[in-house]
Structure 1
């Protein structure tokens, strides 16, 4: 499908994703039909520059799509978000390198933001060694991103403040050794494995710096602050999983009876009020979140930079949405019965996915 035709999640695609989610969870990686859909729709390069062959979609459209996919299958939403987010880095690479990477058949970029390796200057490039964790979508990655501490002759290079200099790199999968390590309670199909690199040499064109001042692609997407982008995309995933859980929880509560009152749970006023209050609080937080996202995007799209208070507002609305999602899931779960504790039930998988994804360090209150 041409990138220009990328659209919000259709009912047909949602059914296809949902149909294969249980098998993906059991296999601990996305089902081949889910992977094929990611590639066919061009979603993995939707944040990459048009000049490099990507879609370069407006951020609010991207975030809404990611939330919609996560509301069907948390693992697929997470892989889409993290891998498409890594594709955004193409906007900071040399244009020729960006075109080469995004033009790779079935391109998928995975990686880690931790600086748990080092890059030694060698000739016109760097020799990289280290290990990194939590590369979502690792089995399908054609390239891996990473951060590394720079060294010269084995001595760490320091910045003006005396801190180690860190540089981001994009490495072809052929130079990377995956390390199966993802054994989480939930998000099993995200296959967020570790990976290592042992003394592989890379030309300097594989390195990049993430900053509006160093963007090599025009357009507001590459002037939108990195951490603001990270907050909104991660929060949208958590929101999608929470909305899925609330829908399934309401169905459980419709069929379960209150032991003392002898009534279906939803006919018990206190229980019905609790459900409604959680739905209302979540909806209000979600509305504020999208108001901040849309407003911040409009500012950047108009050619202005986000000031510190605007970035803080984006972060605050993202964390408030995550908090409302946590409150809804945690407070409604006890009313869902033992069915929700069955590992083979959909609501249990969604609960596990939610509580794994919401552990991301950026989402701490």
Structure 2
């Protein structure tokens, strides 16, 4: 870890997992470093960092702890939406003390239009970082006088909104084997009235902030930030696996598994494959960023391809090495077991399904 991080103990991450949320000290570190504002517009009080720098930091955080990296990634990603809000609204939200935006992309609620406001009702799943959120983002189907509004193709019109946490009721629905401290709870809104100015469209043509960050394609941003998290977790797993493999002995012999040529070759191949695909991933990201900064289009297909290839390589690395780690890796209180559980929980994100 570089100077972005301090040395958080394994015990602290284990305590956060048992608590089911990031601990106050971990939350304080996140706010102190300004990580949740790193994609928000500079004009609104954010850092507006170059995306390649953000993705590399997110990899680093996930290599420290899966839940930490995931919460920072998802909540900073929601902070990026400030670049599509009216500037005054964006400044008000980003300027909130200890601001944290959590949310869901599923359109599982309704926004009933009423003059210059919308009345929002619904339930949304998987809002990572929910307990520390000051605001929630969501997608809702638009209605007027009870009738669903449709676009020219006859499909329901969907609008994104940001809603203060005071209007939100959390539901303790996050009962997974891993990523427990991400606290990706469901949330409910029962008839909250919000100004239409809190609605936004996630599209470069509708960006209200200048700069390449807000011209970068949303889906491409989602792929690269999620893939970086899986890369960080896989890297952490390999670092914990090697000493276990080095001390575990073959049945009936004195030779350690690391001295078995096939196992040593497997470990070397895993490292080589991960380094190769990581390099290709960042080369594609850096090139895409340069193109967007020059007002050209990013190659979204390539970014999706390299992201999914990297995630697949991470899966092969973790699943390939796990059988050689022994029962110590199967203990629920072992750091490597937590990383294994976090990794396999995170891979269930819909965008990360094998191509």
Alpha-carbon separation, structure 2, partners of 1:315 and 1:203: 35
Aligned equivalent of 2:255, options 263, 269, 282: 263
Seen in structure 2, the aligned counterparts of structure 1 residues 173 and 340 have a Cα distance that, compared at 3 Å, is same
SS at match of 2:194: strand
Paired residue for 1:5? none
Task: Check the 8 A contact 2:10/2:335 in 1, yes or no.
Answer: no
Paired residue for 1:160? 152
SS at match of 1:13: coil
Q: Does 1:332 align with 2:324?
A: no
Task: Check the 8 A contact 1:74/1:237 in 2, yes or no.
Answer: yes
Root-mean-square deviation (CA, aligned residues, Å) is 1.0
Alpha-carbon separation, structure 1, partners of 2:254 and 2:119: 69
Q: Does 1:10 align with 2:5?
A: no
Task: Check the 8 A contact 1:17/1:34 in 2, yes or no.
Answer: no
Q: Does 1:323 align with 2:312?
A: yes
Shift of 1:29: 0.7
Alpha-carbon separation, structure 1, partners of 2:53 and 2:9: 19
Aligned equivalent of 1:65, options 36, 49, 57: 57
Shift of 1:47: 0.2
Name stretches of at least 5 consecutive residues in structure 1 with no aligned partner.
Answer: 1-8
Q: Does 1:288 align with 2:277?
A: no
Alpha-carbon separation, structure 2, partners of 1:19 and 1:68: 19
Task: Check the 8 A contact 1:14/1:69 in 2, yes or no.
Answer: no
Q: Does 1:86 align with 2:78?
A: yes
Q: Does 1:275 align with 2:267?
A: yes
Aligned equivalent of 1:225, options 201, 208, 217: 217
SS at match of 1:129: strand
Seen in structure 2, the aligned counterparts of structure 1 residues 53 and 77 have a Cα distance that, compared at 3 Å, is same
TM-score of the pair, normalised by structure 2? 0.98
Task: Check the 8 A contact 1:49/1:217 in 2, yes or no.
Answer: yes
Aligned length, in residue pairs: 354
Aligned equivalent of 1:29, options 17, 21, 45: 21
Shift of 1:182: 0.5
Q: Spell out, residue by residue over 1:2-54, the C-alpha distance to the aligned partner (whole angstroms, 9 max, x if none).
A: xxxxxxx5358241265521111111111111100000000001000000000
Q: Does 1:181 align with 2:173?
A: yes
Name stretches of at least 5 consecutive residues in structure 2 with no aligned partner.
Answer: none
Task: Check the 8 A contact 1:69/1:77 in 2, yes or no.
Answer: yes
TM-score of the pair, normalised by structure 1? 0.95
Paired residue for 2:139? 147
Alpha-carbon separation, structure 2, partners of 1:282 and 1:305: 28
